[in-house]
């Protein structure tokens, strides 16, 4: 097991100071911002230090020092994760990749770009837009998250229903291994099947197999014309979900297919003074893009109306932004009653969505908790967020057992329906108790074996994904 001791950490810091040009932070005030991510997970008082790498050479030097002294090494992008993955492990060096933020190449003919791991996702999109290109994955956190973090978590987003998640947009990676070796995986061509697909293995590995320092990303042509947006209110969540599944029969693929349930709509009404619940108990937001956007939107709107929806269709960007703001209104800061949110991120096959919605309703009642549901419905991915007012926390600050039980019931229901415990946020700390249940004993052991092969000392993000080091 990696060391958790102060002397080992101090020895590693000493070695790092000898060889690294980036910043080394050890003061309590300077490291505080690197202790946690955006999840409810609080690791409590932890001894750790922070290195902000200036270069790939810095990252390699940090890995070598951590190997030499068996010190835990936690890669960190922007800390916007929802699974506790970037939280500081005891005795760790938290290695921030934020300064590896160069976009070194945009190859317009090949429709690829080469970026550092610390580039903010939205900056990639902006940079390639000028060339008529698009980096398709669009997590709602795009303005704050890094490409390295997106790759490490396998991030999804609003337009992934048509264009795929992060995985589909990564051709190759530069990865620093636990002992400081640097490997380049994948290929620059769109196709490439030489050897095992280590790029795919590292995507979603949450800093437990290696540290992503750079990536070759696949770009797409920017769809011509203006997107068209459809808002459809329904009498119930089940009706909205049924309508979304029925869109399959139009043989069209919208570029967005999002869902907001009645609990979330009610909270917006209460705190924003809107009257969304007067229009219906659930909202679908659908978008089409490309040359045929208007015709496709007409067909989809007709199908939604036939399924019982009250439909509004707009090509006006201002009105579209107003409608999408309903979906984007997720920020905890906007909630006037302070609360803790358990961000559940289950996904089920689309054919099971109606049943999953019914199970969520039942779990809400059985465990007496508030659960809001926002969903990337086209991907079967439901953010069933359990909201606990701070006043309901236990004396020691932990969430009450009924909330924890509700979280367990949600993931169990998703697994029962052939789904997964996490569609896009990753395992981190918060979902690791259920990973074996999803993978089964054989595959769980195989995955632990892979971890041991990549990281024999167990220094890379220990305690994340798996309960402890190998």
Total residues at the site for ligand FAD (CB under 6 A)? 38
Residue 149 touches ligand FAD, criterion: CB under 6 A: yes
Residue 212 touches ligand FAD, criterion: CB under 6 A: yes
Among 13, 16, 37, 244, binds ligand FAD (CB under 6 A): 37
User: 122 or 305, CB closer to ligand FAD?
Assistant: 122
Which residues lie closer than 8 Å to 257 by C-beta, 6 or more apart? 161, 244, 247, 284, 285, 286, 376, 377, 378
Least distance in angstroms from the C-beta of 38 to ligand FAD: 4
Of the candidate spans 207-215, 279-287, 362-370, 392-400, the one that interacts with ligand FAD by CB under 6 A turns out to be 207-215
User: 74 or 430, CB closer to ligand FAD?
Assistant: 74
Which candidate, 79, 124, 130, 80, places its Cα nearest to that of 101? 124
Among 61, 155, 161, 170, binds ligand FAD (CB under 6 A): 155
Of the candidate spans 72-80, 227-235, 281-289, 400-408, the one that interacts with ligand FAD by CB under 6 A turns out to be 72-80
Among 67, 112, 150, 422, binds ligand FAD (CB under 6 A): 150
Tokens of 184: 């380049």
Of the candidate spans 16-24, 124-132, 149-157, 237-245, the one that interacts with ligand FAD by CB under 6 A turns out to be 149-157
Name the region of 81 (left: φ>0; alpha: ψ -120 to 50; beta: rest).
beta
Residues of this chain, 356-375, that bind ligand FAD according to CB under 6 A: none
User: 327 or 352, CB closer to ligand FAD?
Assistant: 327
Of the candidate spans 16-24, 104-112, 137-145, 225-233, the one that interacts with ligand FAD by CB under 6 A turns out to be 137-145
Binding mask 293-332 for ligand FAD (x = CB under 6 A): --------------------------------------x-
Residue 207 touches ligand FAD, criterion: CB under 6 A: yes
User: 167 or 436, CB closer to ligand FAD?
Assistant: 167
Cα separation of 187 and 210, whole Å? 18
Least distance in angstroms from the C-beta of 174 to ligand FAD: 10
Least distance in angstroms from the C-beta of 200 to ligand FAD: 15
Residue 116 touches ligand FAD, criterion: CB under 6 A: no
**Cα-based angle 24, 29, 34 (whole degrees, multiple of 5):** 65
Q: How far is CA 96 from CA 23, 50, 87, 93, 217, in A?
A: 10, 7, 12, 9, 21
Residue 180 touches ligand FAD, criterion: CB under 6 A: no
Cα separation of 206 and 37, whole Å? 13
At 375, which helix (H) or strand (E)?
Answer: strand 370-376
User: 41 or 444, CB closer to ligand FAD?
Assistant: 41
**Cα-based angle 236, 227, 380 (whole degrees, multiple of 5):** 40
CA atoms within 13 A on the CB side of 63: 28
Least distance in angstroms from the C-beta of 305 to ligand FAD: 28
Q: How far is CA 323 from CA 288, 316, 334, in A?
A: 14, 11, 17
3-state secondary structure of 261: coil
Cα separation of 243 and 220, whole Å? 29
Among 2, 90, 139, 172, binds ligand FAD (CB under 6 A): 139
Among 296, 339, 379, 424, binds ligand FAD (CB under 6 A): 424
Residues of this chain, 219-248, that bind ligand FAD according to CB under 6 A: none
The partner residues of 146 in beta bridges, in order of sequence, read 120
At 104, which helix (H) or strand (E)?
Answer: strand 103-107
Pairing between strand 339-343 and 256-260?
A: unpaired
Distance between first and last Cα of the chain: 7
Question: What does the DSSP 8-state code read for residue 124?
Answer: H
Residue 82 touches ligand FAD, criterion: CB under 6 A: yes
Residue 141 touches ligand FAD, criterion: CB under 6 A: yes
Contact 49, 94 (CB under 8 A): yes
Among 148, 458, 462, 463, binds ligand FAD (CB under 6 A): 148
Among 146, 216, 341, 420, binds ligand FAD (CB under 6 A): 146
At 112, which helix (H) or strand (E)?
Answer: strand 112-116
Instruction: Please report, as ranges, the residues that interact with ligand FAD according to CB under 6 A.
Output: 37-38, 74-82, 85-86, 97, 117, 139-141, 145-146, 148-150, 152-153, 155-157, 206-207, 211-212, 331, 424-425, 428, 461, 464
């Amino acid at each position: 097991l990696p060391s958790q001791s102060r002397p080992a950490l101090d020895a590693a810091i000493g070695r790092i100071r000898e060889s690294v040009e980036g910043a080394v932070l050890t003061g309590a005030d300077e490291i505080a911002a690197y202790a946690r991510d955006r999840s409810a997970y609080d690791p409590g008082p932890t001894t750790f230090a922070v290195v902000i790498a200036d270069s790939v050479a810095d990252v390699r030097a940090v890995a070598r020092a951590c190997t030499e002294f068996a010190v835990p090494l936690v890669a960190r992008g922007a800390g916007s994760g929802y699974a506790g993955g970037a939280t500081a492990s005891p005795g760790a060096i938290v290695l921030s990749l934020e300064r590896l933020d160069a976009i070194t190449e945009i190859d317009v003919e090949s429709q690829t770009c080469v970026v550092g791991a610390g580039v903010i996702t939205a900056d990639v999109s902006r940079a390639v837009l000028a060339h008529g290109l698009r980096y398709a994955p669009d997590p709602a956190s795009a303005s704050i998250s890094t490409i390295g973090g997106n790759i490490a978590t396998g991030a999804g987003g609003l337009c992934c229903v048509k264009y795929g998640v992060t995985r589909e947009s990564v051709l190759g990676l530069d990865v620093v291994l636990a002992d400081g070796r640097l490997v380049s995986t994948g290929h620059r061509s769109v196709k490439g099947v030489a050897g095992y697909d280590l790029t795919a293995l590292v995507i979603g590995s949450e800093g437990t197999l290696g540290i992503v320092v750079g990536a070759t990303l696949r770009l797409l042509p920017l769809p011509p014309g203006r997107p068209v947006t459809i808002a459809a209110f329904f009498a119930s969540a089940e009706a909205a979900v049924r309508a979304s599944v029925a869109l399959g029969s139009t043989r069209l693929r919208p570029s967005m297919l999002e869902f907001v349930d009645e609990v979330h709509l009610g909270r917006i009404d209460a705190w924003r003074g809107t009257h969304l619940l007067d229009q219906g108990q659930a909202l679908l937001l659908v978008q089409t893009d490309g040359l045929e956007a208007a015709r496709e939107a007409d067909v989809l709107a007709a199908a939604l109306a036939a399924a019982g929806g009250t439909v509004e269709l707009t090509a006006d960007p201002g009105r579209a932004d107003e409608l999408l703001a309903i979906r984007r209104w997720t920020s905890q800061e906007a909630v006037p009653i302070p609360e803790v949110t358990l961000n559940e991120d289950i996904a089920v096959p689309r054919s099971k969505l109606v049943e999953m919605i019914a199970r969520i309703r039942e779990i809400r009642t059985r465990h007496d908790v508030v659960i809001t549901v926002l969903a990337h419905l086209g991907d079967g991915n439901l953010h069933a967020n359990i909201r606990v007012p701070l006043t309901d926390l236990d004396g020691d600050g932990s969430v009450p057992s009924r909330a924890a039980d509700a979280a367990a019931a949600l993931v169990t229901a998703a697994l029962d329906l052939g789904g997964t415990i996490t569609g896009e946020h990753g395992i981190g700390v918060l979902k690791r108790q259920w990973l074996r249940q999803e993978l089964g004993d054989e595959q769980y052991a195989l995955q632990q074996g892979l971890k041991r092969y990549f990281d024999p000392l167990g220094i890379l993000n220990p305690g994340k994904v798996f309960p402890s080091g190998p």
